[in-house]
Amino acid sequence: MRRASTVLAGAAVPALLLAGCSAPWSHSPTDKFLDAVNDGDWTAAADQTTDPDAAGRWLADLDDSTGDTTLHLSADDGSTTATWTVPAGDEVTTDGTLTTGDGGKVTWTPAVFSDQLGDSDTVTYADDRTWDVPVTDIRNASQMSWTPVTVVSATKEADLQAVADAVRPAIPDFDTQDAASQIRNAGDGAVTLFSLRPEDAGKVADALADIPGVSTREEGRLLSGRETRSPLDGDLRDYWDQQLDKSVGWTLATSAGDVLGHKDPGTTDPVHTTMDLGVQGAAQRALDAEQRPAAIVAISPSTGGVVAAAQNGAADDQGTPAMTGLFPPGSTFKTVTTSAALGKGTVHPDDTVACPASTEVDGRVIPNDHDFDLGDVPMHTAFAQSCNTTQAMISRDLDPADLKNTAARLGLGVDFTAPGMTSVTGSVPETGQGAARVESAIGQGQVVASPFGLALMEASVANGGRMVTPSVIQGQKTTSDQHPDPLDPTVVEELRSMMRETVTSGTARSLSDIPGLGGKTGTAEVDGGAAHGWFVGTVGDLAFCTFIAGADSSEPAVDLSGRFLRDGALSQYTAGVAE
């Protein structure tokens, strides 16, 4: 219940004034009661009744039972009119009766607000929604649907080890220590422990029912399938809620079941996403075999639609790192550094460049991974073999904003507002000559990116160097805070040739059996921990990023990418791709 923001026109003068029982300038208990009710001051309103305790409890409960419904009460000669404005803006009026007792105070009864209310009744509000509106993928397959769930709660009386034993068939890793901490913090209240899908509830319901201090209730939720869950599920659920809000119906009733007002819900169209459950499932299958936090994001370069966004359980514990986690991108950022140098004309693919085991540039010593030394090689070879030392040296000829601007042309560092999707791409600073520039050139220092951001970078490369605008809801417009010019087409062609060489004979050659695949590996050093592993690439109409936290090299990410790309579910995107 919210305070009414305006006084309705034509509100009657209180009965006691009209009856002449007091002078026009007096303020009777009835006046004070009406004013307090219309101000939402329940304590002050209750004080003007013959039973302040009962009135106070009833009015306080009204907040919980009617939510954001507002109330305005007027009186005229012993009759009242209550105007209830529900959240959708529709109004319901009810007629009640107001009498006074000792000292002119309002005789307390719920009938003051409606003659349909008995002494033990209250008013309730409920949204009426078309809960069965589905979320479907790009092939019109059901992606998320309204599903009954059993919510399990516990108080401090519950034996949590008994709970763990009871739910082991459904939740083998139930954390009793975490549950105990939550219950301690709740004091005497109950704490929600977990929710169970119907197939799991059936396995454990009987065992839970025998444990004191444990209770269950039935609810409904919009859920995806276990095998196709996504870090985007929460955002898609919020978008779905917003669509239902536009056509919501409602019921205002007494707690005894008498309907005071009602409106049927309107029609809501299904929510159609750009995702492909086949590709999403392939990503999830590949990830579920990895114990370290890991994620895969895939985007269609031709449409900008997110095809898949997946992460494993270890990543789930960190939130949504696939879409919003920021990590040093390591050598995957050489895509940007090389593009900037090619665009500036300071290096060309066939130019001979040095790739020593280590080099000192502007006071910063940069080594190659495991100190490999290629000597003098063509630039395209240095890229394919991921020479840190080469990248450090070519970065010296760049201007302070070159890396930042080139990254933005590929979507990295650009902020997008897309219905149904919360994302962060990354951040690339401007750097003058010195250690910061050298570190940025190899994806370290202050450069950070999300798996989503690097997938978008690859999609933009595959889109001819023109920044792809990402989306996840079909037909909905995405906006961005930047609109950069595309890369030079010649630069894009040269870059993609180097990415292909990375797969055919470079650091990702274990994937050389995948026709048309081009990509870039990345190992990113982390202070005080194992290095992160990356692989980004494009094949057919699919651009993707694979990330594994603490992998210690790029090889696990390359292997994980192979499991994903070789899954038959991707044939729609990779079929017919030339070598």
451 & 500 share domain:
yes
95 part of a folded domain: yes
Tokens 């159609």 correspond to: 272
260 part of a folded domain: no
Give pLDDT, residue 8.
Answer: 34
208 & 69 share domain:
no
Task: Provide φ and ψ at 335, rounded to 5°.
Answer: -55, -45
Whether the pLDDT of residue 145 is over 90: the answer is yes
52 part of a folded domain: yes
Whether the pLDDT of residue 436 is over 60: the answer is yes
Q: How far apart (Å, rounded) are the C-alpha atoms in residues 355 and 389? A: 6
The candidate with the shortest Cα–Cα distance to 156, out of 204, 214, 210, 195, is 214
Give pLDDT, residue 6.
Answer: 34
CA distances from 254 to 86, 140, 268 (A): 14, 41, 28
61 & 16 share domain:
yes
- Please indicate whether residue 253 or residue 189 has the higher confidence score (pLDDT): 253
Give pLDDT, residue 12.
Answer: 37
Give pLDDT, residue 27.
Answer: 80
- Final residue of a structural domain among 199, 233, 251: 251
Cα 288 to its chain centre, rounded Å, is 21
The predicted-structure confidence for 167-178, as pLDDT tens digits, reads as follows 999 999 999 999
Average of per-residue pLDDT across 345-366 = 94
- Final residue of a structural domain among 72, 95, 128: 128
For the entire predicted model, the pTM comes to 0.85
Could you list the residue range(s) of the whole structural domain that residue 397 is in?
A: 277-544+553-574
Task: Provide φ and ψ at 271, rounded to 5°.
Answer: -90, 120
166 & 221 share domain:
yes
The predicted-structure confidence for 23-52, as pLDDT tens digits, reads as follows 444 589 999 999 999 999 999 999 999 999
Whether the pLDDT of residue 18 is over 80: the answer is no
Give pLDDT, residue 188.
Answer: 85
Give pLDDT, residue 10.
Answer: 35
Give pLDDT, residue 26.
Answer: 52
119 & 157 share domain:
no
Q: What is the CATH number of the domain that holds 524?
A: 3.40.710.10
Whether the pLDDT of residue 389 is over 90: the answer is yes
Burial class of residue 477, CB neighbours in 10 A (0-12, 13-18, 19+):
exposed
Q: What is the CATH number of the domain that holds 79?
A: 3.10.450
579 part of a folded domain: no
The predicted-structure confidence for 494-550, as pLDDT tens digits, reads as follows 999 999 999 999 999 999 999 999 999 999 999 989 999 999 999 999 999 999 999
Whether the pLDDT of residue 21 is over 70: the answer is no
148 & 96 share domain:
no
Q: What percent of the chain has pLDDT over 90?
A: 89
Give pLDDT, residue 88.
Answer: 87
Length of the chain, in residues = 579
Whether the pLDDT of residue 4 is over 60: the answer is no
Average of per-residue pLDDT across 457-479 = 98
The predicted-structure confidence for 80-134, as pLDDT tens digits, reads as follows 999 999 998 999 999 999 999 989 999 999 999 999 999 999 999 999 988 999 9
Whether the pLDDT of residue 551 is over 80: the answer is yes
Give pLDDT, residue 77.
Answer: 92
Whether the pLDDT of residue 419 is over 50: the answer is yes
288 & 309 share domain:
yes
**What Rg do the C-alpha atoms of the chain give, in angstroms?**
32
One DSSP character per residue, 22-60 reads S-TT---HHHHHHHHHHHT-HHHHHHTBS-HHHHHHHHH
Give pLDDT, residue 13.
Answer: 35
Whether the pLDDT of residue 400 is over 80: the answer is yes
Confidence grade of residue 572 (pLDDT, cut at 50, 70, 90): confident
Residue 544 β-bridge partners: 298, 537
428 part of a folded domain: yes
175 & 118 share domain:
no
263 part of a folded domain: no
99 part of a folded domain: yes
- Please indicate whether residue 137 or residue 364 has the higher confidence score (pLDDT): 137
121 & 166 share domain:
no
429 & 491 share domain:
yes
337 & 242 share domain:
no
The candidate with the shortest Cα–Cα distance to 551, out of 302, 291, 230, is 291
Give pLDDT, residue 110.
Answer: 98
Confidence grade of residue 578 (pLDDT, cut at 50, 70, 90): low
261 part of a folded domain: no
One DSSP character per residue, 376-391 reads EEEHHHHHHTT-HHHH
- Final residue of a structural domain among 72, 104, 128: 128
301 & 427 share domain:
yes
Report the number of distinct structural domains present in the chain.
3
Give pLDDT, residue 418.
Answer: 98
Whether the pLDDT of residue 78 is over 90: the answer is yes
Give pLDDT, residue 487.
Answer: 98
